[in-house]
Amino acid sequence: MTAPARTTPDAAGPPEPAAARGPLSRAVVDSLRGGGAPAHTTAAVLRADPWGEDLHLSLYLLYELHYRGFAGVDDTLEWDPDLLRLRRALEDRFLHALRTSTAGAPRTVAEAFGPLLVEPVDLSGSLSHYLETEGELWQLREYAALRSLYHLKEADPHAWVIPRLSGRAKAAMVAIEYDEFGAGRPERIHARLFADLMEDLGLDSTYGHYLDRAPAALLATVNLMSLLGLHRALRGALVGHFACVEVTSSPGSRRLAKAMRRCGAGPAAEHFYAEHVEADAVHEQVVRHEVIGGLLAEEPDLEADVAFGCAATLLLEDRLAAHIRVAWDQGRSALRG
């Protein structure tokens, strides 16, 4: 990756749709660019790999209509019934795979989150530990390029759950989101801080710039947030996902801040993760006791959903870490292309 000129995340406007990776994403791209119903078959959806490039790019493109949209794509397509029908069919494939793969996971909040509250003795499988102790600058740059698909819209998917909560849970969720969005200061918005990190690393911080380079394992982690956020029926799982991220963020961010400092990545690169060490240590307490606690006080039947959201998050993060480590251990890029 060559270093581009410094820019702002929103300077270029909405991104272009990515190049297709199979028949389903081709149908989506063609529909977005030319209008008309996406030309796909039910059989193609049923054959699609629920972890694969074609399905996850298709879902990402369809979800992005609810965020910034795409250059040259009509904003009214956000609620196009044909695109929504295809999205629901792809979601069903993805959600079924998630539920099947986490069938043996804990079903209670205590069992799901208990192990996450203790720093593991063996960190050999931890990607942040690898970057802290052995990672090179080019690997930090790749990691940031991959994570930019979420961090340049950090906390946006979670905001969808706010109107689906009430009382303690809503108040606590809004308090955390207020912090994520800079507490009223645009230069402190976490997405802006991540753009600063990318610029320190010589990366292009334009929103969506690395979509074509992002593999399915990364897209799946972002798609999970959109899937859970856009469905009221999955509000418990979205809270579980959010809590899992906040609980695991502080120790991981501490390791990544050290990695940035050790590799000389720059002050903004180190600051993004240093900021999360402190902020997410506080967020962890609030989300566990007030968001989860408040939600389950009103809707105790959602406990299994909260646990599922945590399990699905860990599953996809482990898959992404494995993808990255296999590539790096083989001496190649974890990015596509």
Q: Are 122 and 134 contacting, i.e. CB atoms less than 8 angstroms apart?
A: no
What confidence tens digit (pLDDT) does each residue in 67-89 have? 999 999 999 999 999 999 999 99
Q: Are 128 and 259 contacting, i.e. CB atoms less than 8 angstroms apart?
A: yes
Rama region for 4: left / alpha / beta (φ>0; ψ in -120 to 50; rest): beta
pLDDT recorded at residue 251: 87
pLDDT interval class at 296 (50, 70, 90): very high
Between residues 71 and 36, the one the model is more confident about: 71
pLDDT recorded at residue 282: 75
Q: What angle do helix axes 216-230 and 53-64 make, rounded to 10 degrees? A: 40
The alpha-helical segments, DSSP class H, found in the chain are: 23-34, 42-47, 53-64, 81-101, 109-113, 127-133, 137-151, 156-159, 167-180, 190-200, 216-230, 235-262, 267-286, 293-298, 303-329
**pTM of the full structure:** 0.93
What confidence tens digit (pLDDT) does each residue in 126-167 have? 899 999 999 999 999 999 999 999 999 999 999 999 999 999
What confidence tens digit (pLDDT) does each residue in 207-265 have? 999 999 999 999 999 999 999 999 999 999 999 999 999 998 888 999 999 999 999 99
